[in-house]
Structure formats: structure tokens, C-alpha cells
Structure 1
Amino acid sequence: MDALILSLQASRRLHSVGWGAPSIEPAILNSLQQSLQAVKEHSRFEGHSAPVMGASFSPDGRMVASASWDGTVKLWNIEGKELRTLRGHTAEVWNAVFSPDGKTVASVSSDHTIKLWSVEGQELHTLKGHTAEVWEVAFSPNGKYVASAGSDGVIKLWSLEGRELQTFQGHKGWIWGLSFSPDGQTLASGSADSTIKLWSLDGKELQTFTGHQDTVTEVIFSPDGHKIASSSNDGTIKVWTLDGQELRTLLGTHAQIWDIHFSPDSKILAAVSSDSTVRLWKPDEQEDAKILKTTAQISRLNFSPDGQYLLMGGWDHTIKLWTVKDREQNLQIFQAHDAQVTDVNFSPDGQTIATTSWDRTIKLWNRKGQQINILKQGTDKKSYAVWSISFSPDKHTLATVFWDGSILLWNSNGQQLLTIPGHVRLKTSFSPNGQTIISTGQDNTFKLWSRDGQELQTFVGHEAPVTSVKFSSDGQLIVSASADSSIKLWRIDGKLLKTFKGHQDEVTSVSFSPNNRLIASASADKTIRLWSLNGQ
């Protein structure tokens, strides 16, 4: 499904320079073609009668909205079942996005309009005012406003009741990137005129950034609203201060980074990207990343405890095991699951591999790829897709997180020990001494639990769902990452020690180095950052 959304984004960005325009590089077209072929192989969402040009997740991740040249918007559940079709546009629909509360969908079309819909399928309002195709739409963080832009080169701000509040004029080309600042007081726009502009909500142009050599395809704010990140068809990603100063980033790529891990000796940093590659760096050296190219999207990766192997779970339902020294040789492929592999982990002794999947199963394997056990959810409760799995330090207990948010503890024989309900969770991990468990959630918090299921501490401070959380090796510190683009360092008693700001989009993964001297973070802004514990 993510391959579908990535291909749609690529397709829409190609349009920003015009179909068949001379400036489109053949490599971009080849990349898009390969992506579309991969989507055809997945065949998860079928129902539109023309090309699908936009897709987005609902805030809780349980629905997808798709926009198509067939003039419709379709809503789907996460398993690809069509829920309803929204009809009303009279021309191609370019994009559809959910409001922050997930109750409203905004769609934009070549019919020059923006439509607001309830997720039940009722057309609420039609916003009219653009004089050409509308391609981009964004809700303000508080959900009170909608911003739109397209090929007429203007931005419009609307109330949810459909009243036009403001028109922003200044770009000399189509507008493609559009983003609200975290406080909702500023708009950033990127254009085919190769510039980025900042605007106040009263329509005043605050700043123009020049430096890109081609269409600016995306523009986003840092969580503190003090920096801007932009991507362009010139093949670069730039990070700026609000006065236009360009800042350096670690990685320049059009692929998003989904997961990162340090090797046990801290000498290698591994990152998995949405372009089906895994990149390996030596953080203390300036050499370029070593790239492992895979044949399918990789969702998760982990090092073996001895650092000799890299374990990856993929969208092709397989597990791949690579040697780290011989980076070009695929050591082992497990035909593991009947759906996407959502998490993979080694046991502490490196002899057992645990995997979870959207096929609702948990499986244990040896390193030869032989299945040892299947942990069954049982018949006394509804079966759910499994998000993640982790071993206790003594390897005798496993913790799994299910789609319904529950944590289930198992012994290594597959016997269920304890269920912890109530917190809307995504991931879980054990403390180094194995006595406590952390769970992250969609409610912007993460929680600390005892092994017997007692809630010990709730960590409050993030302004969006917590996407990743890790213990330091001594168990005294916790680092958390969030969709609010920040990283936070905590004591285990819940005291916030430090907030790290610098990423321009959701932070997708965070990790301590084994010696606890560094923190590595990966973000949807397509960068990886290394931090000392004081935030430098």
C-alpha cells in the first residue's frame, strides 16, 4: 500500500513540470514506471476506472482516501476493501486528504473546485474561486482552515463552511508544495518558478527563498516553525532558516527513511528507505553510504546481537538476512508470511528470529529459515494484525502489539502470559533489565509498564503520535520520537530532560548508540541526524 502512495506522489510531481516536458529526466520516468509496476503486482486497491493521482491515510491509519482521474474519491479500509465512493467533481480529482480529526475529507480537482466531505460520504461544501486546476490542499493544524493551490498560481484560504478568507498572489508558476506552520499562523508554498514563499494568513508575503533550479515539489516546516525543508525536481533537498539561509543535511535523496539502527559496536548506522534500498554509514567517517538494493520495499530492519547480520522484513512477505561484511550478498530469504512483514527482531543470543505481519500471525525462526513456532492469538478474541514484537533480555518472554492497541506477553513456547489493554499502541520494547516495558501510542504519549501489567508512568509532552521509543543501555534514559517532528530525552521517572528540534517532518525512528553517547534519528523529511545527548 505504501508503494501505491509513493508512486502516486511521484506521478503527481511529474505533472508539476508538465507531461512530456523536456525537463523531465528519463531516470525519473523509469523510476515512476518501476513503481507503478510494483503497485500492479500488489493489486491491493482496485476500483477506480482511471489513473489514481493522490492517496492519503486517515490520522489513525485505518482508512485511505484515493483521488482519481475518473472524477471520484474513494475511501478504503486498511485491508483494501472499498468503503464508499464520493461523487460530485466534474473533472479529474488530483488529491484527497483527511482533516486532523479524521472526520472530514478535502478533495481538489481540475473542475477548479475543492470539495469537503464527511467520511460517511456526504458532500458538505464546494469551495469555488480558483480559475484553473486545483492540485494541492492542506488542513490547518487546528482543523479550522483549508488552504488550496494549483495551476492558476495562487493560494486560497477557506473556512470549513466554504467561505473564501484570503487569496495569496506572488508566484510566477504553478504551485505544488503547500504547508502550514505548526502553529497554523504561516503558510509555505513551493512553485514551478523554483521559489519558496512564506505568507502570513492575512495574505502578506513574508519571505522568498531562491536556490532551487527546478520546480519545488514539497515544502514543510520544522516543528518549532523556525526552519523550512524543500525538495525539488532538480534532485536536491534543502533546509533553510526563515531568512533564507541554506543548512546542511545528512542525506539528499527523494526516498523517505522508514527505520534506522546502530550496529552493536556503534560503528555502522543502517537506514531503510522507501526506494527499496538500505544504506550503511560509518558515523565517524565522511565516506558515502554503502547501498544495498532490494527487490521490494523494506519495512523494518535489525542487526543481530553480534553485528554480523542485518535482518529485514519486506512488503514482498519475505524476511532477508544479509551479512554486514559482504554487503552485496543476500545470505538467506525466508518465505515468511502471507502479507507485509511489520517487524523483525533477533533474540538476545542471536539464534532466534521473531516476525510479525498484517496476516495476523507471529512466527519464530532459526537462522537457517526454518520455522520453529507460530504464536496463535486464540479463538476467544477477535484476531488482529500484529504491529511489532520484542524479546526480553533473557529471551524467554516476547511482547507483541496488535492492531487493537493491546500488548500481549508470551513465553518462548507460545503460551500467552498476560494482556495489557487500554492504550492505543503501535510499538513496544523491554527495558535492559527486562523488568519494565514501554509502549508507544497514537494518543501522543508513551507508557511504562511492569511485567505484571501495572502502569508505572505516562510520558506526556509530544504534540502528535509517538512513533518510536528506546531505552539507553543502562536503562536510566528513554528517547522518544514523534510525528510532531521532535525527539525528546527523558528520565525513567517521567522527567523531560531535553527536546531535540531540527527535523522538518515526522520522525519515524530513533535509537541510542550502544555506548549511549549518540542518538540517531530518521525522518519523513528524508534525512538522518546524529545528536549528542546535549542536543548538538
Structure 2
Amino acid sequence: MGYFISTGIQSTINSFVPLKILIFRVFFIRDISMVKHEEKMKNRALLLVFTAICLLLSACQGKAAPTTASAPTDIPTMPPATATDIPATATPSPEPTPTLSPTPSAPRGTLSLAHKFGFGSGIRLSPFGLQLSADEKRLIATTSAGVFVFSADDLKLLAAIYEPTQQPSYPLRRHMRVSQDGSLAAGFSINADYILTIKFWDTSTGSLRAEHALESETGDDFVIIVDFAISPDNTQVAAVSDNGTILIINVSDGKIVETIDQYVNNTQSPLWIEFDPIGKNAYYIFQDVSFTGVQSYGLNSTSWDEVSFADADTIDFPWDAGAFAPLLSKPAGFRWGYFTRAGSRTIQAWEYSTFGKRFEIKRQDSISAIAFSPDGQWVIMGGTNPTQLETWPVETVKAPQETFPVARPLWAVAASSGGQTFYGISNDGKLNMWKSGETSPVHQQSGFLPVASRLEFSEDGLSLRLTTANNEIYEIDPQDGKLQNIYPNPNILEEMKDEVPVSIAVSADKSLLAVVYFSLDDYAIRLFDLNSGKFIRKIPSKHRLDLVEFSPDGRALFTQGPKHPVQVLDIETGEVLNEIPIDDALGEYLFEMRVSRDKSTLALFGELGVVEIYSTATLEVLQTLEVDPNTWSIALSDDGSLLAYYSVDGTVGCWDIASNTLLPPLEFGPPTSAAETPGLAFSPDNRSLALSTWDGVIRIYNVAP
């Protein structure tokens, strides 16, 4: 029987960004028809409340594909609706009728991949990072998008293994790992049958060696892998699940040779599983169910019998991040590492087999990354105030021997044996290489783009804007992916910085800003003067809102809540001018509302997989489309003539609204929650479609209706 990912909800807070990120663990079920619409909507609503890194596989029973119509004809251009006043009437608009909902004609036109950018990303003190191969000729980066191999001499890309993260607890748990000698990469993923799978790659070529669906003889159906390690001889993988079950897997055939479940009832939260430097034992370290203790068990890597036990109070060992030394200490032969946690100014050295504290380093700032050199003689840290790479000799560990300034914090660091060459990836997307004695990088490689919470083209189409969770905008060239600029999000005003915005809307003339915050008791819309940044007034709402958008003339707001009609509110009085009821075609829940950049067109997407297109001037239904209920999100072109959609099965599609024709969809990722994307945007000329995924990769498609 195969292993499946279990149900549950887990949240983690990233204290390094002003906007807290809540990560939800949601449902992965073999029979996807078991997921109810209500459950799906609850998870979507939570995603809209927080700027979330959500990983979801949920779906409902499918519907028939659009039937084939007559032969394609020339596609007419749909003119934008005139930006007239919203009808000031409280009478609901008529429900759509079948005459307004023709079946889309046979697929025509093309949607083709033009560019693919990004090596993925990481966050501070996460399992993602850098390491050198055994011969120190290759530098290997493990990121949210996979494993990428560069020349250690000049940072030229040698091999790319795109394997996007699929773990529900991303980004704080491993989905990929590289062996100690750097020759082998391994990763856990979910295959097309929703079975937990392990894959192995040759890092020298990037080629897939083997893929194995994990089979169990224990009868256990559910497991989430939260950490794993590869033995020094590359023959075994030791993986631990979220409940403390340890799986021992043969690299040669992918068979589970040992299932260790004796720690399940005592595990609250796994921290690490790690082989010691000589591969004699593996160590499982976890927070126990008392919440006040941390335990370490040593397991013989041949018999898998327990050979050691140690524990410590969480007061003494509060750490959940660190680096394990690649060699035993000399002359005592300790198994040790440096440990810390996010925001702490303390780094402690512990012998992890006995839980004996050796010493500690008190800093003036916290660190963003930590790693050992391959010879174990140097520990490399990423300082945060100032932002810099620091080299510390292990023999003294009293102060950095050298520092190298960087513009932004580092989330991954590495060093060569002998401490002559150093590497670091900063959160501006740059991989830097320094030589001892030189403060400026001797080589750089860009492309480690942050995960975007929003994606849009600039008005002239020359830049693609990525809005990040910490309210910065990265502008990249949509032709080659090169970074053009980084700047604070201008739509995050001073009064908003301590709040959690759910939705932000800008009027067509860029004079007004409407914001909905996450709140348990205040659903009001805040209206600001965008030029001065001053607060103007509250616009009351009786229910929670997920999205707001301005009308064409800027005198009204379209509002959307999950189980409420779309309402048109007067921004002066808050009066409901009009509303669009959620009809039976959309279902009980409204997933998304989108308004085109020119404010002419409004799209509603419901739980049953139906999209309805409205004129914002008249609120009349222009078209409807029945898409796959697996669809996760939609996007309108600037002029409202095209609609793009993508689904959790890893496909992206495009609908020409004017001619009511579909472009053949394309696959862009695996059929898992890693396919969820926070960004989908058309270029102003409608010739390009940009898609960004949670793994930090951006794809640009050519659109040819």
C-alpha cells in the first residue's frame, strides 16, 4: 500500500518579514471527489486572509469539456466597455440566461512557453542552502525549485534539477537534499496517483537516476516527510514523518527496509534526522509531547537498534535551526553542531549525541544563515546588522576573521576548505562569490527570485513586477529574467505597515487606494488618498470581504465575500448601489472576482468551475465559461478581452472572451499543490502571459489566439 499525505493544519510564522506568513497544511486524498466544496472554500478564504504560502491538492468531480462547435472563424476584437457611471439602483441585475452562455468553440490558436526564469529561493535559516562537492569543483544550491549546480570557479550553471517543493510545510521542511559528497540528490514528491515518491538524480549531469513509489508493509496510509538525510556512503536514506515515524530506504531499489515507529507517541515536533560524519549512526532529534523537552536518539545504521539517548529542557535547547559539523571533532571525536533559531542573537555548540553544550557565541545581531566548510575548520554566518558574510575559524570562534558586505541578508552560505573562497545567496536573488582579502564579489549569478504574492506587467510591458510577502516589488525583464529594480510597494502606506492587508485596490486615475485588512470584528474598507498617503474614511461592510476593486469612474467599489453577492458600494456614503447575486451556475461560494486594468470588465469564478464575465458599466453578462473545478485562479487581460486560468493539476489555459474560443491548455507543473501559483498576468498587448509558482519560478507564454 502506498503512503499518502495526511490531513491536518499547521501554521508557522516567519518573524523576519513584517507581513506574517501562515502556512496551511491541507488535504491530499486519493479520491479527490471526497473533498467538499465547503472545505475547499474555507481553505481558499484563509489563503486570501493572509499572504500565504499555501500548498493545496483539493478538487471536486469534473465536468465535461466544452463541446466542439463549427469551424473556427476570424476572431473579432472585443472593444472595452465605456466607463460610464454604475447604475444607481438597488435592484439586482438579472441572472445570466442560456442565450448569454454559448458553448466555447473548438480549441484554436496556441499557447506556447517562451521563457522560464528562476532558480527558486529560500528563507533565512531554512533547510535550503549551498554546499560544495567532494572535489570542491561544483557549488550546489538546494532551493524551493530544486537543485542547481554551478562551477565553483566562476558560478556558471552546469546542471539544473527542477523539482518544485510539494511538502505541505514548505518552506521550513526539506523536500530535496544532496549527499555529503555532492554526487547524489534525492527528493520526495507526490506522483500522479498521489503516492509518496522518492527520486534520485546525478548532480553532475542533472539526470534522473531512479524514481520509486514507496510501498509499506505496515498498513500505514498517511505520512508527511519533514526531514531526511542521505548516508555518507550514499546507500541509505533515513526520513522522518511529522508524527515521528522513521523510514529507512535503500537508494539502490527504493525499498523501505525498516520502519521505526517507537517514537510516535512521544514526538510532538521532529527537528532533525542526521547521519553522523562517519555514517555509523543516525540521530533523531525532536521536541517531545511534554512541550518542555527535546530528545536525541542514536540509531545504529546497520541494525537500526537504539545505541544512545539524551535529552534536554527546551529552556536549555530552544533551537530549531543550525548546522551539523561535517567531521568529528579532534581529538575527542565529538558529534557536534552549531544551533540557533530565528531572531536569536545566540549560537550554541552542542554535542548532539549526548546533548552536552560545549560553548556559545553571543552576538549583537541575529544571523540569517550558517554552514561549515567541508574540512570543518570554518563556520560561515550571514550577519543581519550589518548584512554581511562572516568567516569564523572553528579553533577560536571568538570573532569573525573576515567579513564581506552584501546589500541584503543572505539565506545560504558556503566556504571552501582552507577558507579562501566563500559563497552566499542574498534575498535580492544574487549568488555571490568572494575571495579572501577582497571585499567585492569576484563573480555573481542572478536568478534566485523571491516567491511572488502578486504578479503584473508594467503599463508599458517592459517590466514584470513581483510583489513579495515583505511588501517589496522586484522588477525583472520579461525577455531574459534579469533583475531591473527593487523598491518598496508604493501601495503600502505608513498607516498600513502594522496591519495585514487582505485586498488592495487602486482607482484608474491612481488617486485613491481602498484597503481591506484582516480583522475579526471590523470588516470596513479603508479609503486613502494615494498621493498624500492620508486616511480619508471608512466604508462600512456587514460581512468579511476578500476582494475590492474600483469602478471605472472611481466613485464606487466592487466588493466580494465568499458567500455574499458582489456589491457595488458608493465610496462617499457606503450605500449599496447594485449587486450581482451568486447564482446556481457559480455555486454557493464565490472563489474569485477579477477586474481588468482598464476597469471595463469583471469576472466572477465560482466553486462549480464556472466563470461569468460582466460589463462593469452595465453589469450585464457578456459570456460564461465552464472550466475545470480543479481551477485555482483566473486573470483578466488589461482590456478584458482574454481570461487566463490555471488548475492544481498543473495546467494553464486561455479563453478569448470576444470570440468565445479556448486555446489548448498547457502543462506547467506536477499535479500537486506545488502547482499553485500566486501570480498570473497578461502583458498590455495581450501577446504574453506570465505565471509565477510557489517554487519561485516564472514562466512566460506566447499567446496567439
Taking structure 1 as the reference length, the TM-score comes to 0.51
**SS of match in other structure, 1:440:** strand
The one-character-per-residue Cα deviations of 1:218-242 (angstroms, maximum 9, x if unpaired) are xxxxxxxxxxxxxxxxxx8423366
User: Measured at CA, do residues 481 and 128 of structure 1 come closer, stay the same or move farther in structure 2, by a change above 3 Å?
Assistant: same
Which residue does 1:308 correspond to in 2? 511
Change (3 A) 1:248 1:199: closer
- Cα separation, 2, equivalents of 1:386 and 1:462: 22
Following TM superposition, by how much is the alpha carbon of 1:414 offset from its aligned partner in structure 2, in angstroms? 4.3
Matched, 1:460 2:694: no
Where 2:588 maps in the other structure, the secondary structure is: coil
Residues 32-64 of structure 1, C-alpha deviations (whole Å, 9 max, x = no match): 9xx9xxxxxxxxxxxxxxxxxx97331679xxx
Runs (5+) with no aligned partner, structure 2? 1-8, 30-39, 47-167, 171-188, 196-220, 227-239, 246-258, 274-283, 288-292, 309-315, 324-337, 342-346, 348-366, 386-407, 416-421, 430-449, 476-483
Please name the residue that 2:494 is paired with: 292
TM superposition shift of 1:105: 5.7
Distance, in Å, in 1 between the alignment partners of 2:596 and 2:489 is 33
2:692 corresponding residue in structure 1: 481
Could you say if the C-alpha distance between residues 477 and 270 of structure 1 is closer, same or farther in structure 2, counting changes exceeding 3 Å? closer
Largest Rg, 1 or 2 = 2
Tell me if 1:196 matches 2:385: no
Cα deviation digits, residues 317-339 of structure 1 (max 9, x gap): 33222222212x11232223512
**Inter-partner Cα distance in structure 2 for 1:493 and 1:155:** 59
The superposition leaves residues 177-217 of structure 1 with CA deviations (integer Å, 9 ceiling, x where unpaired) of 499xxxxxxxxx974436635999xxx99996423479xxx
User: Quick one: which amino acid aligns to residue 196 of structure 1?
Assistant: I
CA distance in structure 2 between the partners assigned to 1:434 and 1:113 by the alignment: 46
Aligned 8 A contact 2:457 2:682 in 1: no
Aligned equivalent of 1:387? 592
Matched residues in 1 for 2:486 and 2:629: separation?
41
**SS in structure 2 of the partner of residue 333 of structure 1:** strand
* Local SS of the residue matching 1:210: strand
Distance across 2 between alignment mates of 1:444 and 1:126: 34
Q: Output aligned runs, 1:68-467, within 5 Å.
A: 78=43, 101=194, 104=222, 106=224, 114-115=242-243, 126=261, 128=263, 134-136=269-271, 149=286, 176-177=320-321, 191-192=340-341, 193=347, 196-197=370-371, 209-212=380-383, 237-240=409-412, 245-250=423-428, 258-259=453-454, 291-294=493-496, 296-316=499-519, 317-327=523-533, 329-336=534-541, 338-339=543-544, 341-368=545-572, 369-379=574-584, 382-391=587-596, 393=598, 395=600, 397-412=601-616, 413-416=618-621, 417-451=623-657, 453-463=660-670, 464-465=674-675, 466-467=677-678
Secondary structure of the 2:531 match is coil
The answer to whether the Cα contact below 8 Å between 1:400 and 1:408 also exists between their aligned partners in 2 is: yes
Deviations 1:242-292 (A, max 9, x none): 6552344359xxx99744768869999895857xxx679998798997742
Cα pair distance change 1:76/1:480, threshold 3 Å: closer
1:76 Cα deviation from its structure 2 partner: 12
Looking at structure 1, the residues matched to 599 and 636 of structure 2 have their Cα atoms a distance apart, in angstroms, of 10
Note the C-alpha offset of 1:449: 0.7
Q: CA deviation at 1:376?
A: 0.7
| Distance of 1:198 and 1:433 partners within structure 2 | 53
Q: What is the DSSP-based 3-state SS (H/G/I as helix, E as strand, rest coil) of the residue aligned with 1:293?
A: helix
Q: How far 1:297 sits from its partner (Å)? A: 1.9
Contact 1:149 1:175 in 2 (8 A): no
Task: For residue 415 of structure 1, report the CA deviation from its aligned partner.
Answer: 4.7
Choose between structure 1 and 2: higher strand proportion: 1
Q: CA distance change for structure 1 residues 391 and 371 in 2, over 3 Å: closer, same or farther?
A: farther
- Aligned mates of 2:472, 2:556 — CA distance in 1: 25
Alpha-carbon distance in 2 for matches of 1:492, 1:468? 17
Partners of 2:542 and 2:377 in 1: CA distance: 52
CA distance in 2, matches of 1:391, 1:306: 14
- How far the C-alpha of 1:448 sits from its partner, in A, is 0.2
Counterpart mapping for 1:47-62 below 5 A: 56-58=24-26
1:298 to partner: Cα distance: 0.7
CA–CA distance in structure 2, aligned partners of residues 322 and 491 of structure 1: 37
Query: In the alignment, is the contact (CA less than 8 A) between 1:299 and 1:313 conserved in 2?
Result: yes
Root mean square deviation, CA, Å: 5.8
Distance 1:381 1:470 in 2: 23
| Partner AA of 1:402 in structure 2 | G
- Per-residue deviation, residues 125-146 of structure 1 (Å, max 9, x unmatched): 84529998745489xxxxxxxx
Distance verdict in 2 for CA 1:476–1:270, change over 3 Å: closer
Correspondence for 1:9 among 10, 13, 26: 13
- Does the CA contact (< 8 Å) of 2:610 and 2:627 recur in 1? yes
Cα distance change on mapping 1:55 and 1:420 into 2, 3 Å:
closer
CA distance in structure 2 between the partners assigned to 1:297 and 1:263 by the alignment? 25
SS, match of residue 489 in structure 1? strand
Quote the sequence identity (%). Answer: 12
Shift of 1:423: 4.9
Are the aligned partners of 1:309 and 1:322 in contact in 2 as well (CA < 8 Å)? Answer: yes
Aligned partners of 1:269, 1:360: CA distance in 2, in Å? Answer: 31
Distance 1:399 1:421 in 2: 13
The DSSP-based 3-state class of the residue aligned with 2:568 is: strand
- Asked if structure 1 preserves the Cα contact closer than 8 Å seen for 2:473 and 2:488, the reply is no
Residues 405-430 of structure 1, C-alpha deviation per residue, up to 9 Å, x if partnerless?
A: 43222344445442423152233232
Q: 1:398 to 1:349 in 2, by over 3 A?
A: same
* TM-aligned CA deviation for residue 488 of structure 1: 1.4
Partner-residue secondary structure (3-state), 2:539: strand
Larger relative contact order (Cα-Cα within 8 Å, sequence gap ≥ 6):
2
Q: Alpha carbons of 1:399 and 1:481: their partners in 2 closer, same or farther (altered >3 Å)?
A: same
Contact 1:354 1:363 in 2 (8 A): yes
1:491 has 2:702 as partner: yes
Q: CA deviation at 1:362?
A: 1.6
Q: Give the corresponding residue for 1:517.
A: none
